[in-house]
Chain A
Amino acid sequence: MTALGVAAAVAAGERTARSVAEDYLDRIGAGDGEIGAFNLVLTKEALADADRVDAALGRGEPVGPLAGVPVALKDNLCTRGIPTTCSSRMLEGWRPPYSATVVERLRAAGAVIVGKTNLDEFAMGSSTENSAFGPTRNPHDTSRVPGGSSGGSAAAVAAGFAALALGSDTGGSIRQPAALCGVVGMKPTYGRVSRYGLIAFASSLDQIGPFGATVADAAAGYEAIAGHDPLDSTLIDQPPEPIGDALTDGVEGLRVGVVAELCGGGRQEAHLAGTDGSAASGVEGVAGDVLSRVQDAAEALEQAGAEVRTVSVPSAVLGLSAYYLITSAEASSNLARYDGVRYGLQVDGANAAEMNVNTRTAGFGAEVKRRIMLGTYALSAGYYDAFYSKALRVRTLMLAEFAAVYEDVDVLLCPTAPTTAFELGAKTADPLLMYLNDVCTIPSNLTGHPAISVPYGRGDDGLPVGVQVMGPALSERLIFRVAAALERAAPGDGSTA
């Protein structure tokens, strides 16, 4: 059942929130041993939440639009009194004294929180293999990764462990796992959803967004969490537009651009261009089966009345390099606070400095350490201009180029990820190869624009393919509308596992 189906049934008294919660908890109990979507299942809390919803309904009180909907939370969202780990040893034993704004909003909307989901440690990764608690597996094929970093949330929705889930997206961490798990995943405009209570990876790009089995579910999740919050000063001071009827509006007359540089055209091999302009070699571009599905999607939109053309955003190929400099720089600062002094892991030392080193050495995994070192280097005296400052200029350039393209088209279309879900361990030995997973999703983070991944058919291996719809700032209504049209046109083999 969809999230909106659950909410309607609960509100109408056809189901109790408790019976819904029990069903989902049973499914988790039976299936999550194999998938590993959850770091923590909140059985007691979920049933208590569900009982509160039922009691409110019994008293005839109004319940929210997500009444009784079981929701999974990525485990980098703070939950009051409940362990929040970022899938890192570093936060072992820490219980936040407060909840993230999005968690408060979901509860206010009547949602039932069923658990905290696995992620790449501190959201750094594209496969959910960089977790201190072991990997999450793809419900479509458990030998494959679910993508990442919000792999646990994507897998939870795909496996029917939750009707909705929240993830965070810094470079594609919602959209790429959504694509690999065959669900809908959406990253709102930067500043649309409060980051208060989201444990930061790269503050200038991090944004919380929903996963749903359908576009309508994802839209309902988005509507529940978007909007002003006095605790986050980077929010946009303008109320969000409701999505509502946009989903049935169709795409008649819309101008859709297919981004050449993100569709195997252009200089795919230059994604990891060095600072001297030389290209890294031996990296793969977008797989043929994925490109075919994007082509199918473009044709479907054309048939539905949209005007489709190919457009060029040359700076898109620089995104990956700029992204890894900016996010690593910010992360090196954001993760400095894990020093063993106040909370989480503490490994003793002869003095404070030594304790700090010992704690961080033991507490962080290899990928986190790699990014902290990269970011520290990029911000260092003498290197700042060559790396961090240059990356910021790429970001500015990219904003200008996207703004120019949006003069000519309303939305952009491209693959979400270069391939379908890959085997566990396939890319762990080669960080650069892993980083390439985000090549199509990163531009929206650098520009702060919204984007959504929708399942569209299957790859040659029978695994789900996601196509990505991108729009200019604050175009949530528009991209949900296009995504809904794609969902209606998609080959009807069912996208969830």
Chain B
Amino acid sequence: MSGAEPGREAAVAGGWELVVGLEVHVELSTATKLFCGCANRFGDEPNTNVCPVCLGLPGSLPVVNAAAVDFAMRLGRALGCEVRPAVFARKNYFYPDMPKDYQISQYDQPTSIDGSLELAGGHVVGIERAHIEEDTGKTTHVGGGGRIHDAAYALVDYNRAGVPLVEIVSRPDIRTAEQARAYVRELRAILLSIGVSDARMEEGSMRVDANVSVRPAGSGELRTRCEIKNLSSLRSLGRAITYEARRHVDLWSSGERPRQETRHWDEAQGRTTPGRSKEDAEDYRYFQDPDLVPLSPSAEQVAAIDAALPALPAARRAELLAAGAGAVSASDAALLVERDQDALVRAAVAVGADPGLTATRVSNDLAVDDWSRVTPDGLAALIAMETSGRVTATQAKQVLAEMVEAGDDPVAIAERRGFQAMAGDDLAATVDQVIAGNPDEWQRFCSGDDADRKKLAGFFIGQVMRATRGRADGAAVNRLLQERAEPA
């Protein structure tokens, strides 16, 4: 949706190609945690949703939450993965917010492998794996500006410890920063549509790490990559990739080479800074967790998951575009699917509403949480009133707003409000009055260049709207203005 990508241009201009793979951690929105019965809820008083199991107290044992496994398998199937028998493994490392000092994850036998994700623009990104693991607690460093090294002390909230996560690892198929953002947007749309996560980057329920490298354009090689962490928004993701790509190109171009390492994105400084290098990377000593039994999804279970999967965003966009027969824009389609309003638009179109106008009206003017009172028939009736010129665009927006609140028939709302588009001689007379009342502006409108004319058209339309209390159709006013400026 945005324009040219500076990162890509910089990389490609020098004959370099960007190679990015993303690791996305998603918190599953199950009622309870992955291995115990504690509530899985964001924002509660710290350390209130804890028990011996998620605190890793001596003697406690994990028991896997069947709902979390079901969510993970649903996600796997939505990403086109093979869902297979899986084994939980322990990833061993010390950190104060990890109660057992190992994280229960999946290693060489993950639940889902070999899928793909098609971006809104058509580019396909391979999915290597999607595995289940538990989240850690959350550490807050206090004092010394909140930085780890000079903090006075740290507070740990274990409410998050044991929350179910799925880590989705893409193949290094992403070639631009915009594709990376589109991948995350698309993944989020899928997560929301299958109902397994609220996928909020700002709350940390969706966390993205980017593996970035560059290579000479057209070569198939994979060069040393850096893993960028602390990407808390789509904006950070795009900026960090762009920065990192340029850093790699600069290094390679000057005869140096990047070190394989974890790097930290500094949003304020707009740069990445080095973290752990591969040499001092931890050895996680993975081994099968003896406290848990392997997961063995049956063919019936997988078939039931497939049967219950809703239409996915890519399919829904395609359906909407087909229903629009060229009149619905790709960006409107993406937005409508993201907001779950594509079915409403398609239903309205099915009963005769103009596809382009319906898509525009809904995407621009129905950005509300609860639009359940707007029915396809009501929406189609409103669009018909607008296309027939019975109400103006401004009036249509007001009627729509009232439909959201009251759910009435748009014809009744328009009548009650006395809405009727002013047309013909009445409108022409009003336009003439406004021109007469603003001679200077009119003079400049008639003699100015295109930019002036556009600006002043806005001014005159606004004046006419004011005089008619919104009952004029802006497009009709504009036509009258143009006719008067250049009489035939």
Contacts and interface: CB of A to CB of B under 8 A. Distances in A.
Given A203-B290, A336-B101, A376-B285, A96 B63 contact: no
B367 interface: no
Contact of A231 (B61, B96, B287): B61
Contact of A233 (B62, B101, B283): B62
Interface in A50-85: 76-78, 84
Interface string A75-102: 0111000001010000100101110100
A94 to B, nearest CB: 8
Contacts of A97: 52, 57
Nearest to A357: B94
B94 A336 contact: yes
B10 to A, nearest CB: 37
A78 B52 CA distance: 11
A234 B293 contact: yes
Contacts of B100: 336-337
B58 interface: yes
A324 to B, nearest CB: 16
Contacts of A239: none
Nearest to A77: B59
Interface stretch (A241-249, A339-347, A423-431, A438-446): A339-347
Contact of A197 (B59, B90, B293): B59
Contacts of A303: none
B57 A356 contact: no
A388 B287 contact: yes
Interface in B52-67: 52, 55-64
B462 interface: no
A98 B51 CA distance: 10
Contact of B64 (A91, A198, A233, A352): A233
Interface string B109-120: 000000000000
A451 B208 CA distance: 51
Nearest to B95: A352
A270 B109 CA distance: 36
A379 interface: yes
B404 interface: no
A86 B60 CA distance: 15
B99 interface: yes
A204 B88 CA distance: 14
B236 interface: no
Contacts of B62: 233
A333 B293 contact: no
Contacts of A380: 283, 285
A1 interface: no
Contact of A379 (B101, B285, B293): B285
B92 interface: yes
A232 B61 contact: yes
Contact of A196 (B59, B96, B285): B59
Most buried by B among A195, A199, A233, A332: A233
Nearest to A191: B293
Contacts of A32: none
Contacts of B283: 380-381
B381 interface: no
A200 interface: yes
Interface residues of A, number: 44
A352 B96 contact: yes
Given A78-B58, A96-B58, A231-B63, A204 B290 contact: yes
Given A336-B92, A376-B285, A380-B285, A100 B292 contact: no
A329 interface: yes
B61 A352 contact: no
A86 B58 CA distance: 10
A98 B57 CA distance: 10
Contact of B287 (A198, A200, A379): A379
Contacts of A231: 61, 63
Interface string B278-294: 00000101110011110
Interface string B97-141: 001111000000000000000000000000000000000000000
Most buried by A among B56, B63, B292: B63
Interface string A342-360: 1100000000110010000
A230 interface: yes
A97 to B, nearest CB: 6
B287 A333 contact: yes
A230 B63 contact: yes
A330 interface: yes
A94 B290 CA distance: 25
B154 interface: yes
Contacts of A388: 287
Contacts of A381: 283, 285
A360 to B, nearest CB: 10
B63 A233 contact: yes
B59 A100 contact: yes
Given A199-B58, A342-B55, A333 B90 contact: yes
A78 B61 CA distance: 13
Contacts of B63: 230-233
B287 A337 contact: no
A352 B93 CA distance: 13
Nearest to B284: A381
Interface string A320-338: 0000000001101100110
A385 B96 CA distance: 30
B96 A200 contact: no
Given A339-B96, A352-B154, A380-B285, A333 B102 contact: yes
A78 to B, nearest CB: 4
Contact of A339 (B52, B90, B101): B101
A78 B57 CA distance: 10
Contacts of B90: 333
Contacts of B293: 233-234
Interface in A369-385: 376, 379-381, 384
Interface in B147-171: 154, 156
Nearest to B36: A231
A337 B56 contact: yes
Contacts of B292: 233-234
Given A333-B285, A336-B102, A339-B101, A199 B59 contact: yes
B96 to A, nearest CB: 5
Contacts of B101: 336-337, 339
Contacts of B156: 341
Nearest to B56: A337
B287 A329 contact: yes
B340 to A, nearest CB: 37
Contacts of B290: 202-204, 234, 330
Contacts of B58: 78, 84, 86, 91, 94, 96, 199-200, 337
Given A333-B90, A336-B102, A356-B94, A196 B287 contact: no
Nearest to B291: A203
Nearest to B93: A336
Given A337-B56, A376-B285, A233 B61 contact: yes
Contacts of B94: 336, 339, 353, 356
Contacts of A341: 96, 156
Interface of B: 52, 55-64, 90, 92, 94, 96, 99-102, 154, 156, 283, 285-287, 290-293
11 contacts: A84-B59, A94-B58, A97-B52, A198-B59, A203-B291, A232-B63, A234-B291, A332-B285, A336-B102, A342-B99, A384-B285
Q: Which 8 A-B pairs give the minimum distances between C-beta atoms?
A: A336-B101, A204-B290, A379-B285, A203-B290, A199-B58, A78-B59, A197-B59, A199-B59
Given A98-B59, A333-B92, 19 more contacts: A96-B52, A97-B52, A97-B57, A195-B61, A196-B60, A199-B58, A202-B290, A232-B61, A233-B61, A333-B287, A336-B92, A337-B56, A337-B99, A341-B96, A352-B96, A379-B92, A379-B285, A380-B283, A381-B285
Interface of A: 76-78, 84, 86, 91, 94, 96-98, 100, 195-200, 202-204, 230-234, 329-330, 332-333, 336-337, 339, 341-343, 352-353, 356, 376, 379-381, 384, 388
